[in-house]
Amino acid sequence: SLHDPSDDIEIYSVNIQSQITSRFAHNVITSRAVNRADQSREVSFDVDLPKTAFITNFTMVIDGVTYPGVIKEKEAAKKQYEKAVSRGQSAGLVRASGRKTEKFTVSVNVAPQSKITFELIYEELLKRNLGKYEMFIKVRPKKLVQSFQIDVDINEPQGISFLDAQGTFMTNDLLPLVHKSFSGEKGHVSFKPTIDQQRSCSNCSTTQLDGDFTVTYDVNRETPGNIQVVNGYFVHFFAPSKLKEVPKNIIFIIDRSISMIGLKMQQTKEALLKILDDVKEHDHFNFVIFDWGVEIWEQSLVKATPENLNRAKEYVRNLYPKGWTNINDALLSAISLLDQAHDARSVPKRSASLIIFMTDGQPSTGERNLDKIQENARNAIRGKYSLYSLGFGVGVDYPFLEKLSLENSGVARRIYEESDAALQMEGFYDEVANPTLMDIELQYPENAISDVTQNKFKHYFDGSEIVVAGRITDNDLNWLTADVTAEGEEDTLNYTHSAKVQEESEAVEQQQYIFGDFTERLWAYLTIQQLLEKRISAPANEKGNLTARALALSLKYQFVTPLTSMVVTKPEEKTGEEEAMIADKFVEGQESQAQSSYSAPRVGSSYSAPRYSPPPTSFVDSD
Amino acid sequence: PHFIIRVPEKEDALCFNIQETPGAVLNLISDPELGIAVNGELIGKKEPGNVAPTETYFGKIGIVITKLDVRLEVTAQGVTVLSGARNVALTWQEDVTLTEEGFNLQVNKMENALLSMGDGATFIIVLHQFRKGDPLHRDFLGFYTLDSHRFSERVHGLLGQFFHGVDYEISNIHKTADPEKPDASMRVKDSLLTVTRGWQKDYSKDLQSGSRVQCWFVHNNGQGLIDGTHTDYIVPDLF
């Protein structure tokens, strides 16, 4: 959005250009405004961008003078920034703004009758989830804009299979203005409401454009995988379809400590009941419920027969919060249950074993040393199972959960404590509900390539996609061949994918008007992301090396990552001095603090006032 | 204070009042096996000239966990935790969570305090406040238990004796002058009592207005329902 408190600032253009090539989105947001007043006015430029995106550039042009953002190592940027702060100026430019977004904000004084142009560029690799890629753009111009335009160009060498665009702010009048088209490799979405069409009512000066604009699409999959090679870099997309599901063995670890009292427990139960509806009959499952101690629903994993599911639902309905948070014993009990099931061969030999761990707090009893808990879980799992963590509410120690999961082939996810928390949990389950492959390894000719991103994966879930990128070091290589091995529902599967290096590169030359180095940037983006992720769970002696590599790439490719900052300099009207501002990347751990408004000292897990609680057995009170 | 005993098997509740003079300390829970005791000290309304007000409330709750060497004193002013030689004083003015080996205490600003103990039992102490300068009322406390089945078979006290259930039979429900409050006969613990249908309020979920709990009211300080008489539960001091 671009706005000012008065009507003196006229926004004559907001242009959102998005170019997606092979899932890699390059977004340019440009706003142009003029100050019609006879005195200077402050103008703010706000952009909500996805947390997964990296800012790559920002510039302001004020009266023909360009003020560029410069991306630097965090420490170096901080020194420059601190100088400005010591003069009592400025603030950070990026802050957490929502579940999926962070907000970039710049405010600047614009002289009378002067023009200003803001341009922000950010890039991200779109992730395939439940059979589609999704790119969202927050739309909130706050004022009517002479020329408002969203253009999304998609270029997918595999061919586009479907394309859709939706806006949460769409009315029947606006809907026909969304133009969607696709043919072969190219797709296009545009949305250009006139100034009158933006009005919230016919004579209003307020805009109805406020919400998310989401583009979804998928690509054709004639083969399970596809390799693309451009300018010496390759990217391998692997997403086999029509495979039989591998049976799952799931342990749900549920925190029922007293801090879960109220809505959290209610929503957890709701989500579990829904999830139990979706568990397949060939799956096995069990519950590990913990408070001060651990309660295991059944002695061993049970098959998801209708009778067992009904009993499980009854058990879930009768869960009530109590006691403390004994995370260590709960994790070890769950791992031990899976070990026993595999040892006793009571679960299918070819099956995916998952632990879904849900908590809202930090350990308050049993083993409370976080490092020790992580070590215990790692040593007990030994790479055999995937551990997914769902962190509920603001009091949760998210970095702890993230490390715990990343060390054990899983991921951590935040569950936001709002009315749709149950839906968020179900949504997460849907993502991991359908494993079709296990122990996937993508191999490339060792002497011809280097700098390959992660190429071994514990599970492949239907509707997702594995992406591996790397650099081709052999200049004479004509064909790049990848061998993929994976364990399927019945046997070991082997796939071979290849791409002709020269021809592919020539073919892609036609697309280079988009941005020729996209494969290289995609590789850099993916590498940085994975290095940052590895850093979370790496031992101290490896951390330095991983950080150095991620930093070097962030600087080389000009990405604002958690290791770099962008310094933006803007003119300071009164003193004539320039003012430095800084754009940082928000990371999850920081976010929880930034969003937390607690001022009172809090130790241990968080607690919000009960809105619902189970009937107490007895009490004494008076009114 | 109003005592309410939920009887989930009958989807019903029993209630009684205990009226004693301000300053009396009543034993609510005493579990020698777990080493947990809860006592409450009564306060009365500010009624000038009335030395023995008819209505009393709990102004102070004392909780002793002997195995952990922990004592908690909860008043309308705050919560004091005495753990060994350590003394932590918390007020109701802020959210605080205190986690110690063996127990977890969460004070929720101006609302309630949750005490969760290692054996799984949980207490909620609700703070009832009146406006400053209220001529009649004083701030007082409500005391709620969760997971009371965690207590040992030897648990006793005005609340504790009901933790492992109470068996009773209701018969002969008949109308009274107040159509909403029929009387009935209740057979309990070898006594036949006349009880009255009524309701009390549960403030554990909603501090502002509470929720109604329908119950059979036992008259005369719970005589016949409780073991012995209510004076048997008067103890010399809070700890």
Question: pLDDT value at position A340?
Answer: 96
Residue A1 reports pLDDT greater than 90? no
Which tokens go with A584?
A: 């940082």
The closest of B224, B229, B233, B218 to B5, measured between CA atoms, is B218
Which residues of chain A have a CB within 8 Å of the CB of B125? none
Percent of chain A with pLDDT over 70: 86
Percent of chain A with pLDDT over 90: 55
Asked if B123 contacts B148 with a C-beta cutoff of 8 angstroms, the reply is: no
Residue A80 reports pLDDT greater than 80? no
* Across A51-72, average pLDDT: 89
| Chain B interface includes A616 (CB < 8 A) | yes
Q: How far apart are CA B60 and CA B55, in angstroms?
A: 16
Asked if A219 contacts A161 with a C-beta cutoff of 8 angstroms, the reply is: yes
Half-sphere exposure of A572 (CA within 13 A, CB side): 15
- Map tokens 């003069």 to a residue: A87
Residue A362 reports pLDDT greater than 70? yes
* DSSP-derived secondary structure for chain B: -EEEEEEGGGTEEEEEE----TT-EEEEEEETTTTEEEEEEEEE---TT-SS-S-EEEEEEEEEEGGGTEEEEEESSEEEEEETTEEEEEETTS-EEEEETTEEEEEETTTEEEEEETTS-EEEEEEE---TT-SS---EEEEEEE-GGGS-TT-BSTTGGGTT---EEEEEEE--SSTTS-EEEEEETTEEEEEEEEEEEE-SS-TTT-EEEEEEEEHHHHBTTBSS-GGGGEESS--
Of B28, B98, B108, nearest to A620 by CB-CB distance is: B28
Q: How far apart are CA A229 and CA A470, in angstroms?
A: 10
A-chain residue closest to B115, CA distance: A323
A-chain residue closest to B149, CA distance: A617
Question: pLDDT value at position A550?
Answer: 95
Is A607 within 8 Å of B108 when comparing Cβ atoms?
yes
Which residues of chain A have a CB within 8 Å of the CB of B28? 620
Q: Which residues pair with A23 in a beta bridge?
A: none
Quick one: three-class SS letters along B140-190?
EEEEEEECHHHCCCCCECCCHHHCCCCCEEEEEEECCCCCCCCEEEEEECC
* Across A276-295, average pLDDT: 92
- Map tokens 């909603």 to a residue: B206
Q: Which residues pair with B199 in a beta bridge?
A: B214
Half-sphere exposure of A67 (CA within 13 A, CB side): 20
Residue type, A532: L
Question: pLDDT value at position A510?
Answer: 54
Question: pLDDT value at position A590?
Answer: 47
Provide the 3-class DSSP secondary structure of residue A340. Answer: helix
pLDDT in tens, A288-312: 999 878 999 999 999 999 999 999 9
Residue A593 reports pLDDT greater than 50? no
Is B94 within 8 Å of A615 when comparing Cβ atoms?
no
B-chain residue closest to A395, CA distance: B97
Of B8, B118, B205, nearest to A612 by CB-CB distance is: B205
Summary mean pLDDT of chain A: 85
Residue type, A121: I
Q: How far apart are CA B213 and CA A54, in angstroms?
A: 56
pLDDT in tens, A335-351: 999 999 999 999 999 99
A-chain residue closest to B95, CA distance: A600
Of B5, B94, B98, nearest to A618 by CB-CB distance is: B5
* Across A281-292, average pLDDT: 93
Residue A413 reports pLDDT greater than 80? yes
Of A291, A603, A621, nearest to B98 by CB-CB distance is: A603
CA A316, distance to chain mean position in Å, is 30
Of B40, B120, B145, nearest to A323 by CB-CB distance is: B120
pLDDT in tens, B58-87: 999 999 988 888 899 999 999 999 887 778
Is A621 within 8 Å of B144 when comparing Cβ atoms?
yes
Residue A598 reports pLDDT greater than 80? no
- Of the listed ranges A43-52, A281-290, A565-574, B218-227, the least confidently predicted one is A565-574
Residue A89 reports pLDDT greater than 60? no
Question: pLDDT value at position B48?
Answer: 59
Residue A258 reports pLDDT greater than 70? no
CA A51, distance to chain mean position in Å, is 6
Q: How far apart are CA A539 and CA A378, in angstroms?
A: 13
Question: pLDDT value at position A88?
Answer: 47
B-chain residue closest to A603, CA distance: B97
B-chain residue closest to A607, CA distance: B106
Confidence of residue A279 (pLDDT cuts 50, 70, 90): very high
Question: pLDDT value at position A62?
Answer: 87
Question: pLDDT value at position A615?
Answer: 41
Element (H, E) at B44: strand B36-44
Which residues of chain A have a CB within 8 Å of the CB of B161? none
Question: pLDDT value at position B51?
Answer: 52
Surface of A (295-354) touching B: CB under 8 A: 320-324
Question: pLDDT value at position B50?
Answer: 53
pLDDT in tens, B90-140: 899 888 888 777 788 888 888 899 998 866 688 999 999 887 777 777 889
Q: How far is B174 from chain A (nearest CA, A)?
A: 27
Question: pLDDT value at position B54?
Answer: 65
Query: How many H helices and E strands in chain B?
Result: 1, 18
Confidence of residue A607 (pLDDT cuts 50, 70, 90): very low
Is A621 within 8 Å of B203 when comparing Cβ atoms?
yes
* Across B20-28, average pLDDT: 92
Is A618 within 8 Å of B159 when comparing Cβ atoms?
yes
- Map tokens 């993230």 to a residue: A402
Q: How far is B3 from chain A (nearest CA, A)?
A: 4
Residue A594 reports pLDDT greater than 60? no
Query: How many H helices and E strands in chain A?
Result: 13, 34
Going by C-beta distance under 8 Å and a sequence separation of 6 or more, which residues neighbour residue B194? B183, B184, B185, B186, B219
Of residues B229 and B60, more confidence is placed in: B60
pLDDT in tens, B26-64: 999 988 788 899 999 999 876 655 555 567 899 999 999
Is B6 within 8 Å of A616 when comparing Cβ atoms?
yes
- Taken in order A22, A28, A29, A32, the sign of the CA dihedral is negative
Residue type, A411: V
Q: How far apart are CA A296 and CA A330, in angstroms?
A: 9
Residue A614 reports pLDDT greater than 50? no
The closest of A78, A89, A32 to A570, measured between CA atoms, is A89
Confidence of residue A506 (pLDDT cuts 50, 70, 90): low
pLDDT in tens, A91-128: 467 776 778 888 888 888 888 888 999 999 999 999 99
Is A365 within 8 Å of B126 when comparing Cβ atoms?
no
Number of CB pairs < 8 Å for A and B? Answer: 155
The closest of B86, B20, B31, B37 to B234, measured between CA atoms, is B20
Q: How far apart are CA A554 and CA A561, in angstroms?
A: 7
Q: How far is B233 from chain A (nearest CA, A)?
A: 14
Half-sphere exposure of A310 (CA within 13 A, CB side): 3
Q: Are strands B70-75 and B168-174 parallel, antiparallel or unpaired?
A: unpaired
Is A621 within 8 Å of B143 when comparing Cβ atoms?
yes
Residue A85 reports pLDDT greater than 70? no
Residue type, A327: I
